[in-house]
Amino acid sequence: MQGGVSENENKNVSTGAAGKSEAAASSEAAAVPEATPAAAAAPAAAERRRPSREGRHAMPEQNPVRRARNFNEVNLGYTPQLARAEADRCLQCKNPTCESGCPVGVHIRDFIGAIIADDMPASIERLKERNALPAVCGRVCPQESQCEAQCILAKRGESVAIGRLERYVADWDNARAVEERYATEPAASTGHKVAVIGSGPASLACAGELATRGHAVEVFESLHTGGGVLAYGIPEFRLPKAILGEEIGALERLGVSFHYNEPVGKITNARELLEEDGFDAVFIGIGAGLPLFLEIGGENLNGVYSSNEFLTRVNFMHASDFPTYDTPIWWGHSVVVVGGGNVAMDAARTAVRMGAGQVTIVYRRTEAEMPARNEEIHHAKEEGVQIHELCGPLAIEGNTGWVTGLRVQHMELGEPDASGRRRPVPIVGSEETIPCDTVIIAVGTKAHKQLVEITDAKLTERGYLATDEDGRTSDPRIFAGGDIVTGAATVILAMGAGKKAANAIDEYLKQD
């Protein structure tokens, strides 16, 4: 829906400041602080400003039937009119609670305030002060459980669509000529050199932060291109690779150099980088990309993939562009994906686009407990993906080496487990087989054992790198952050960890 039509228009839900007395709404509006860009750019208008009472504005999207057959981005982005209308809903709070929900502390009120004041250069400047990858985060961050969950309007209805506005501002910047774009300037050279291992969001955030402080940064990546999961995992229809390319290009312009096809641990290691190659510190951000399997019978049959392999072969090795790219993948007509996170949704939606006739997600709890973002579940269902909830896999069945079905057992929810979610309890005698010719397993990942070839810094019992809160490992010269410390998490948490580690590295280098 466009042109000021709200997401809730048909739901008859009270949204935004609607439902409040005008006096209450205007007292919040009058609380606009003098320092916000909206106020600074147009003080007279700011004094008179009344936030819009419209509901949250929907994101324009590709039609579900059409998009299920292409890999183009599903969300099309706000138009300038929609962005302005959505920004106008923001109360410009004196105490912007939204900001407490952002792991990297983006100045949310101010970047939205600058949209209201029609000052886009100020908006991107405020945004980029805290977030080096806003076009990525605006697309894939779980805002609904972070900043938007803390927005004051969420308590009364619908929060401001902070993520959609973040994406709008970042895309506005990326559409400008390179020389016009917002660019952080590197400080004068400190003479220090830092090696960053891996090029996922943790590493990109760390590299960008260090470069702006004048340190020379070199990134070593084992794959042929940068971005980590953003490149090989998250599909094009959610995060176009050109967007990622823009963000990496901005880091290159900042002076960060990238060495691709260089798996550290195989040709060199952290100690050699420090003691032989002249680096003063090392950041390890290699993610946790080793797929977990179900440990059930039939996992070695033809037609069984880990989600990582399936997504990498389609996204990264262009299996969807066969025969233009001579790297095809076998996929069947009836695909079952096991799991309930974003990864499972990405695999299922990719299978739909590859032409599978029937795609089913099997999840052992209910849809309400699925860790995937609501938007991804909603989009998957719109594209025809079936969800079999309360269903646990028992075995993969096969014939002459190929998958023929997934044997499952139905579940009911019992008492909450350690995660706080209700534990799935098998219902005896409820087994059945779902016929299929492809099974994609998306039940999580763990740290790669290759980590011990990279560094002998201390590991946790679960095989991740042990660090303090700021990313310091047991070796004072080596720092780490992202999934290799926390286990599989989110882009913004990885970026937050990369930034914190950059602060710690900067502090360490200043001790020299």
Report the interface residues with ligand SF4, using CB under 6 A. 90-93, 96-98, 108-109, 112, 151-153, 160, 162
Residues 287-326, mask of contacts with ligand FAD (x by CB under 6 A): x-x---------------------x---------------
What number of other Cβ atoms are within 10 A of residue 31's Cβ?
Answer: 12
State the minimum distance, in angstroms, from the CB of residue 438 to ligand FAD. Answer: 17
Q: How far is the CB of 326 from ligand FAD (least distance, A)?
A: 23
DSSP bridge pairs for 397: 405
Contact partner at residue 201 from ligand FAD, ligand SF4, none, CB < 5 to 8 Å by partner kind? ligand FAD
How many CA atoms, within 13 angstroms, populate the side-chain half-sphere of residue 85?
18
How long, in residues, is the chain? 512
239 sits in the region (left: phi over 0; alpha: psi -120 to 50; else beta) called beta
Question: Taking Cα atoms as reference points, which of 342, 338, 335, 347 lies closest to residue 308?
Answer: 347
Which partner in ligand SF4, ligand FAD, none is near 151 (CB below 5 to 8 A by kind)? ligand SF4
Q: Structure tokens of 453?
A: 């070839």
The site partner of 93 among ligand FAD, ligand SF4, none (C-beta below 5 to 8 Å per kind) is ligand SF4
Give the tokens for residue 152.
Answer: 């004051």
Residue with smaller CB distance to ligand FAD, 287 or 303: 287
454 binds, among ligand FAD, ligand SF4, none (CB under 5 to 8 A by kind): ligand FAD
d(CA 234, CA 341): 12
Q: Which amino acid, 292?
A: L
CA 290 to CA 307: how far, in whole Å? 11
Cβ proximity to ligand FAD, 101 vs 200, nearer residue: 200
Min separation Cβ 193 and ligand FAD, Å: 17
Comparing CB distances to ligand SF4, the nearer of 109 and 313 is 109
Query: What phi, psi does 84 have (nearest 5°)?
Result: -65, -40
Cα Rg of the chain (Å, integer): 24
Residue 53 near residue 17 (C-beta atoms within 8 A) = yes
Interaction partner, residue 264 (ligand FAD, ligand SF4, none; CB < 5-8 Å by kind): ligand FAD
Distance in angstroms (rounded) separating the CA atoms of residues 55 and 17: 9
* Distance from chain centroid for Cα 112: 21
In the complex, least distance from residue 260 CB atom to ligand FAD, rounded to whole angstroms: 9
Q: Which does 286 bind (CB under 5 to 8 A by kind): ligand SF4, ligand FAD, none?
A: ligand FAD
Each residue 196-235 as x (binds ligand FAD by CB under 6 A) or -, in order, gives: -xxxxxxx----------------xxxx----xx---xx-
Q: Which residue, 169 or 485, is less far from ligand FAD as judged by CB?
A: 485
Give the Cα separation of 16 and 30 in Å (integer).
16
Two tokens at 26?
Answer: 């205007």
Residues that bind ligand FAD (CB under 6 A): 140-142, 197-203, 220-223, 228-229, 233-234, 263-265, 285-287, 289, 311, 342-343, 346, 450, 454, 482-484, 488-492, 494
